[in-house]
Amino acid sequence: MKRHSLKFPLPLAILGGLALMFSWPATAAVARPNIVFILADDLGYGDIGCYGNKDIRTPDLDKLATQGVRFSQFYSNGPECTPTRTAFLTGRYQQRVGGMECALGVGNVGRYDDAIRLREKNEMGLPASEVTISRLLKDAGYATAIIGKWHLGYEPKFFPKEHGFDYWFGVIGGNADYFRHTEQDGLNALYLNGQPVKREGYMTDLITEEAVKYVERAKGNPFFLYVAYTAPHAPIQGPNDRREQALTGSERNQGDKRTYHTMIERMDDGIGRILHALEANGRAQNSLVVFTSDNGGTKLARNEPLRGTKGTTFEGGIRVPCLVRWPGVLPAGVTTDLVGITMDLTASFARVGGARLPEGRTFDGVDILSEVSGKGGPTRTLFWRGRRGENTWKAVREGPLKYVMEIKGDQRQEYFFDVQSDSAEKMNLLSARPDDLTRLKTLLADWEVAVRPRR
Is 90 exceeded by the pLDDT of residue 4? no
Residue 6 φ/ψ, nearest 5 degrees: -110, 140
Give the model confidence (pLDDT) of 183-200 as tens digits: 988 889 999 999 999 999
Is 70 exceeded by the pLDDT of residue 375? no
Is 90 exceeded by the pLDDT of residue 209? yes
Residues 359-363: what's their mean pLDDT? Answer: 96
Is 70 exceeded by the pLDDT of residue 18? no
Residues in CB range of 248: below 8 A, 6 or more apart: none
Instruction: Identify the structural domains of the chain with CATH numbers, from first to last.
Output: 6-10+29-383 (3.40.720.10), 385-450 (3.30.1120)
More confident residue, 22 or 54: 54
Is 60 exceeded by the pLDDT of residue 280? yes
- Which among 25-29, 168-172, 244-248 has the top mean pLDDT? 168-172
Q: What pLDDT is stored for residue 23 in this prediction?
A: 36
Residues 122-151: what's their mean pLDDT? Answer: 98
User: What CA–CA distance (Å, rounded) separates 319 from 324?
Assistant: 16
Indicate the pLDDT class of residue 349, thresholds 50, 70 and 90. Answer: very high
User: What CA–CA distance (Å, rounded) separates 165 from 248?
Assistant: 33
Query: Within a 10 A sphere around the Cβ of 144, how many other Cβ atoms?
Result: 26
Q: Closest Cα to residue 25, out of 323, 346, 369, 368?
A: 369
Q: What pLDDT is stored for residue 247 in this prediction?
A: 79
**Active site amino acids:** 81, 151
Cα atoms in the 13 Å half-sphere on the side-chain side of 61: 30
Is 60 exceeded by the pLDDT of residue 156? yes
User: What CA–CA distance (Å, rounded) separates 299 from 286?
Assistant: 38
Is 60 exceeded by the pLDDT of residue 180? yes
Q: What pLDDT is stored for residue 22 in this prediction?
A: 34
Is 70 exceeded by the pLDDT of residue 19? no
Is 90 exceeded by the pLDDT of residue 16? no
Q: What pLDDT is stored for residue 169 in this prediction?
A: 98
Residues in CB range of 80: below 8 A, 6 or more apart: 102, 103, 294, 295, 310, 311, 386, 388
Is 80 exceeded by the pLDDT of residue 91? yes
DSSP 374: I
Q: What pLDDT is stored for residue 378 in this prediction?
A: 55
Is 80 exceeded by the pLDDT of residue 5? no
Is 70 exceeded by the pLDDT of residue 20? no
Q: What pLDDT is stored for residue 253 in this prediction?
A: 79
Q: What pLDDT is stored for residue 373 in this prediction?
A: 65
Q: How far is CA 181 from CA 140, 171, 225, 264, in A?
A: 34, 7, 22, 18
Is 90 exceeded by the pLDDT of residue 263? yes
Q: What pLDDT is stored for residue 380 in this prediction?
A: 80
Is 80 exceeded by the pLDDT of residue 7? no
